[in-house]
Amino acid sequence: MKTFKKITLFVLVAISGFAISCSEDDDAPVSSYVCETCVDTPDALAVNDNSVKGVYKGIVVGSSGTISINIQNGSSTITATMVLDGETAVLTSEVEVIDGQSYIAPFTGTFNGGDVSITFSVGLGGTTPTIVTSSIPGHPNAVFQIFKETSTALIEAFEGTYSKPGETGVFNIVLSSALGGFSGIAKSDQTNEINDVEGDYNANGELIDEDGEVVANITGDVLYGTFVDGNNDQVTVNGNRTL
């Protein structure tokens, strides 16, 4: 299955020359935010842990949102729920799962009054889940990251932002405490440059680069952090769990 690579957060916004070191001021912000719709235990059933069937969760950037795909996880239905900018689209697929084969299928529905379609692909045993193509009204260049959830590894998604002098952007991540990693997407508001984000996530709720520096923290359903980049600019990241 697709797993979280443990590499540096240096790629956060490579176009801006980020070379990360941790700031001394990482005090948690005062926030009462709680994701009322988020679960604390996996939705995925153990019988599907090594199957194409099961649950897949991830993030969308191009605006900002999340996606969850359910392939016959305890039922015969195949559906996807995508949320962009607070608007929800429920998508369905008619492509059947065939035991012993990989799976690729279009999921279709409506969004913002128009037709929406995404094509989802996953290998044997639930490996390398990918959104191959997408056609979403108002979001022509959406980028996805999606992972397979198992009965022992809850997948969580956070939507947020980053800011530094002269630059702001979207900062969405997916993480798993059981797998000890996080992955995500950063997109600059000014240049539309998109970069992947990957690193370690430890039991203290810290997002860590390969040098062992803390670049952000998770407290409850809130993400926050401040660090200094390679240009000696202070960068701040903030976000909330939404899936």
Question: Using an 8 Å Cβ cutoff, are 63 and 136 in contact?
Answer: no
Q: What is the pLDDT of residue 30?
A: 57
Is 50 exceeded by the pLDDT of residue 59?
yes
Sequential DSSP letters for 25-36:
--PPP------T
pLDDT of 24 reads 41
- Token pair for 101: 């084969």
Residue 231 has pLDDT above 60, yes or no: yes
pLDDT higher for 197 or 194? 194
Strand partners, 235: 227
Return the pLDDT at 232: 86
Distance CA 177, CA 75 (A): 27
pLDDT of residue 120: 98
Higher per-residue confidence, 72 vs 30 = 72
Mean per-residue pLDDT of the chain:
87
pTM check: above 0.85: yes
Dump pLDDT digits (tens) for 140-191.
889 999 999 999 999 999 999 999 999 999 999 999 999 999 998 989 999 9
CA of 154: how far to CAs of 55, 60, 121, 130, 159, in Å? 10, 18, 21, 18, 17
Backbone Cα Rg of the chain = 18
Q: Say whether 50 sits in a helix, a strand or coil.
A: coil
Q: How confident is the model at residue 236 (pLDDT cuts 50, 70, 90)?
A: very high
Residue 176 carries which side chain, given as an amino acid letter? S
